[in-house]
Structures are given as structure tokens and as C-alpha cells.
Amino acid sequence: MKEFEATITDLSHDGRGVARIDGKAVFVSGALPGEEVLLRIRRRHRSFDEAEVVELRTRSPHRVEPRCRHYGQCSGCALQHLDAESQIAAKQRVLAENFERIGKVAPAAWLPPLTDQPWAYRRKGRLSVRNVVKKGRVLVGFREEDNPRFVADIEQCEVVHPALGPKIGLLGELVGSLEAAGDIAQIEFAAGDDTVALVFRHLKPLSESDLAKLTAFAQAHAFAIYLQPGGISSVHPLWPEQPRLAFRVEAGEGVPEVELEFRPLDFVQVNAGMNRRMMARALELLDPQPTDRVLDLFCGLGNFTLPIARRVAEVVGVEGEHGLVERAAQNAMRNGLGNARFEVANLFDDQRDAPWARQAWDKLLLDPPRAGADKVLEYLPHRETQRIVYVSCHPGSLARDAGILVQKHGFRLSAAGVMDMFPHTAHVESIALFERG
């Protein structure tokens, strides 16, 4: 492919540098705004091209050396070459641009960005497994940056939980030693406060020899090993017989913390440290009072519901997945929270006739998936709701929903800010406060 000289003018939504050649956008892996580069086009598309840096002619003052030796090969982190402050600034800029362009709104105040430990933070994820016959070994890791069909050849991961990150290569050796080396499709990991679980997805039954090797590995490295021979319901522990995954979250100063048990494939916030900081900010913004009735939509295991329950008269959590609702209710019982109850409902369907949707709520918390909460906002909030805290994993859907809340429901966007849930990635997590009038 032909080489071009170009100036990088911006960062794309996925962390690549943006240049223009003959008026056409070019996304350049590993390049930063302000840098002059010699680039090579790797893929051409109708409206944009993709490129790699051949030579860095001028270096951004915000460029740093990536900590991970697999950076550039593994797709897990796109921004390790950018200093921490600039990563946050880039995410704040994305959020502000989305508010302006999509929602046609702007916050009255910007919240200070929330940050925590930028390394060894990831407690949840899925590792791909590939038996590479030509190499005579099994690769375990995330997908390659240049070719998502292949697994990056890595030995360790700097952002994964410290009990597991340095042992990615050992997992490859373990799977490579199994008779079923070619039948392990993926390994999911989930870490509670005290236990790290590995879920081996296998396409065929495992032999007694393979089961013994997996058990020995679990015992040697203090992991809980689960097997998944089929769908999610097939997940079961191999060793120990009854592992326990749980994490604790504070509910505010002078208020007892709550503990949430979960299963290894349940959704939990990826970053435990940031989850605690996010919880503190959400409670600060929601300002729960002893007489309040609060509705928590997309509640999952009760991550927000249960800490809120420590502070209010009543809270109802609504979630679409039956298993999560069941475990949320069990968590409420274990924590002695009789004022928290849970409902199962697909919040992407019209639920306006559901009893919980017809009731008056003082305050509302939203924590939707990437698609956002626009379907819910067709019939909620009611006029009695004075305050809404919106936790978002996608700035575009938050901006759209902010426009709905401001223009249709008469709220004002009082404050918003980013939360660095995924350091070294371009993922933008944010939180916003909406108040009446």
C-alpha cells in the first residue's frame, strides 16, 4: 500500500488518530492529535480508510511509553500510549460533543472526573482460546488489534485482576496440556473480593484426566474453576464444590455496607475500585432521604438498589433477566433489607401498565445498557419525580436521552461527568444528574 505524510487532528471514538488525505478521513492506529506521521493505508472503505504509522515524524507531548509489552498487538487497550490526564480529557470531550450534537443540551456544571487505579483493575472479562497447530501451542488472550479473528499471543495482561493478569500464559500452557485442547472455546473470568473464578467453555465432554488437571491448576493458583458444556444454565463448579463470589459496596458514611453475591457469568461492573467511587457519587447526586421512594431501572444484581435501600423508605429495582432479579432479592434478604423489592420486566418493551410504572416515585436511577433508556422515557418519569441520576456506558445514548428528559419532561441537566471505568481504552462511562425545573 502507498505511504502518505499526514497530520493527526483528532482522536476517533475507538482511540485511533484521525487524519485527512484528499478530504477523506483516515483512522490511524497508535497516532495522537498534533503528531506528524508517515502512514501506510491498510484497508480502504468507501467513506474512510484505516492506516498504521510507518514513521513518527513529530511526537505529541502527551505520548508515553505503553506499560504492556503486548500493546499494539492485543486489542484490549487502545490508549496506553496517551498519558492519563489526556485520556480523561479526551473522554470528557467526547461526552461534551455528544451532548451538544445529539441531545442539544449542556450540563449546568461539569463534575470532576472519577478515576481509580489504572492497572490490574479488570475483574470481569472473556478470554479467547485458540489452538494453533502450526505453533504447537494454545493461545489465550484477547483478540488481535489488526485481525479480530485471531487471538493475540500474550503472556500477561497489565489491566486484568492481579491474581490472573500475570498468569495468562500459564492458562495457555494448561489448555495445551489437555486432551481437549482444541475443544476449549473461551475462558471467562470473574473476581469477587475474595475469590477469582474461571469458567471454561468446552465443546465436548472432558476426560477424567483433563478434569484432574483443571482441578490441580485451581488448587495450585487458588482459583475457582467452573465448567460450561452448554448454555449459561449449564455452568457448574468443578473445584471447589461450592465456591462463593461476592463483593462489598459502601452505602455512605455511617451506613453499613452491603454485600452482593453473584454467579461468574452475571453482569457486574468491571472495575471494582471505580464501582465504589461511582456508588459514592451516585448517592451524593441522588441525595436519598429517609422518606424517599426510589425506582432503580436496569438494576441487575442490585448494585445501586441495595445501597440506596440503606438510606430511603422504599426502593424498587426492575431488571429484565430473571436470574439477576432472583439473586438481587436474595442479596436484599442476606443484607436484612426488607424495604427493597424487585420486579422482572423487559424495559425495552412498553411497561407503562405495570404497577411499578404507574406509581409515584420521588427519585429515579437509570443504569441502562448501551442502547440507553429512550423506551422507558416514553412513559416515565411522572411529575412527582424530582431528581434523576443516569449512569451511562455510551455517551451517544445518554445525550439522546438527556435531550428527551430536558425537552419532553421539563428537567434540567444540572451536572455531568466522566468516570474512568476502563482506563487505557476509549470507552466512555459517565454519570448525569437531572432535576425538575
Q: Hey, which residues are catalytic here?
A: 393
Any idea how long the chain is?
437
10-13 long-range contacts (CB < 8 A, ≥24 apart) are: 11/90, 11/426, 12/426, 13/94, 13/426
Question: In 240-281, where do the E strands start and end?
Answer: 246-249, 258-261
- The Cα 224–Cα 211 span in angstroms is 13
Question: Is 393 strand, coil or helix?
Answer: coil
Beta bridge partners of residue 309, listed in sequence order: none
- The Cα 285–Cα 100 span in angstroms is 22
**Helices within 75-182 (DSSP H only):** 84-98, 168-176
Which letter, b or e, does each residue of 255-278 get, where b requires 16 or more Cβ atoms within 10 Å of its Cβ? eeebebebbbbbebbbbbbbbbbb
User: In sequence order, which residues have a C-beta less than 8 Å from that of residue 212 and are 6 or more positions away?
Assistant: none
Question: Is 65 strand, coil or helix?
Answer: coil
Given a contact cutoff of 8 angstroms between Cβ atoms, the answer to whether 288 and 294 are in contact is yes
User: In sequence order, which residues have a C-beta less than 8 Å from that of residue 322 and are 6 or more positions away?
Assistant: 344
- The Cα 248–Cα 322 span in angstroms is 22
